[in-house]
Amino acid sequence: MYKTIIVHVDGGPHQDSRLRAAALLAAGHGAHLVGSAATGISMANFAILNSSMAMPISSEDYQALRDDVATKLQPFEEQAARLGADSVESRLVDDNTRYGLLLHSRYADLVVLSQDDPPGAHTGGARHLPEFLALHGPRPVLVVPAAYRGAPLPGTALIGWDGSLQAIRAIQAALPLLQAAPLVRLVLVNPEALSELHGEEPGADMALYLARHGVQVEVVVERTRDTPGDTLIALAHDTRAGLLVAGAYGHNRYREWALGGATQALLRRAPVPLLCAH
């Protein structure tokens, strides 16, 4: 079970959807929910800027920055409590958002973030947070689409299974949710392309592993010309899934090229919450 959950707090337009997901999980798992907010500047950078002739920042301006972030944390605590989270905490960190979340994630079971804005619709939030935390953070990441309004998690779950270590880690991280799902579909997209990872019957061994953990699982094999990412996104739509689970890959890996950029497609366009791990 998840006992400590970190959620990104910035007061932005997508905070409501990710907070709903985080609070729902915290309530269901009896977890401690931590709201992480960053000033955007570290004490070291503050000292450097103050010593520079180019961009001096007064102590008053710096404190005003901290006060502004603190005002965003107060409504977070109130809303989290209204949504059912019994144990809530706020943490303000003097750093940029990426590294503040990276620090706090070291001591949590799960990090909850929002999807990036689509191109041309940037609303002012930190960019590429899901990708950065998924690839560089020590914990799994739950990426919540802006349209999420509190549907039960996990609902029916889809797993993108390609036999990789990243997918194994994502499945392991998602086990508390998969065990609670009424049905889990283990989806293999063109498994013949990676036959050395699947054995004689693609999906059978992982399905048996999940079944031994009490997961209600069925294997779905998709043979298609679409990319794995697009295939999973379409399946999530068509089956009204409540959760996607997938491994996360870096940009410059051969496997990421072979999979058609599945990580980026899912991080940016998954229609339901996506749990991923690297």
Whole-number pLDDT of residue 228: 92
Q: Is 113 helix (H, G, I), strand (E, B) or coil?
A: strand
Q: Is 184 helix (H, G, I), strand (E, B) or coil?
A: strand
Report the alpha-carbon distance of residue 91 to residue 70 in Å, rounded. Answer: 9
Report the alpha-carbon distance of residue 86 to residue 71 in Å, rounded. Answer: 21
Res 197 pLDDT > 60: yes
Whole-number pLDDT of residue 117: 82
Whole-number pLDDT of residue 41: 77
Whole-number pLDDT of residue 249: 81
Q: What is the mean pLDDT of residues 245-270?
A: 71
Q: What is the mean pLDDT of residues 36-44?
A: 80
Q: Please, which residues bridge with residue 90 across strands?
A: 35
pLDDT grade, residue 258 (50/70/90)? very low
Q: How many CA atoms lie within 13 A of 3 on its CB side?
A: 1
- For the stretch 100-112, pLDDT in tens is 999 999 999 999 9
Report the alpha-carbon distance of residue 245 to residue 3 in Å, rounded. Answer: 20
Q: What percent of the chain has pLDDT over 90?
A: 75
* pTM (2 d.p.): 0.90
Residue 24: closest CA among 108, 110, 128: 110
pLDDT grade, residue 254 (50/70/90)? very low
Per the CB < 8 A criterion, the answer to whether 267 and 274 are in contact is yes
Q: Do domains 4-144 and 157-277 have the same CATH topology?
A: yes
Specify the range with the lowest mean pLDDT, choosing from 52-61, 62-71, 233-242, 259-268.
52-61
CATH of domain 157-277: 3.40.50.620
Identify the architecture of domain 4-144 in CATH: 3-Layer(aba) Sandwich (3.40)
Amino acid residing at 276: C
Q: What is the mean pLDDT of residues 65-70?
A: 91
Whole-number pLDDT of residue 14: 95
Given its phi and psi angles, is residue 157 left (phi above 0), alpha (psi -120 to 50 degrees) or beta?
Answer: beta
Q: What is the mean pLDDT of residues 162-180?
A: 96
Q: What is the mean pLDDT of residues 185-210?
A: 88
Write down the mean pLDDT value for the chain: 89
Per the CB < 8 A criterion, the answer to whether 104 and 34 are in contact is yes
The ranges assigned to domains in the chain are 4-144, 157-277
Whole-number pLDDT of residue 192: 86
What residues contact 53, with CB distance under 8 A and at least 6 apart? Answer: none
Report the alpha-carbon distance of residue 243 to residue 174 in Å, rounded. Answer: 10
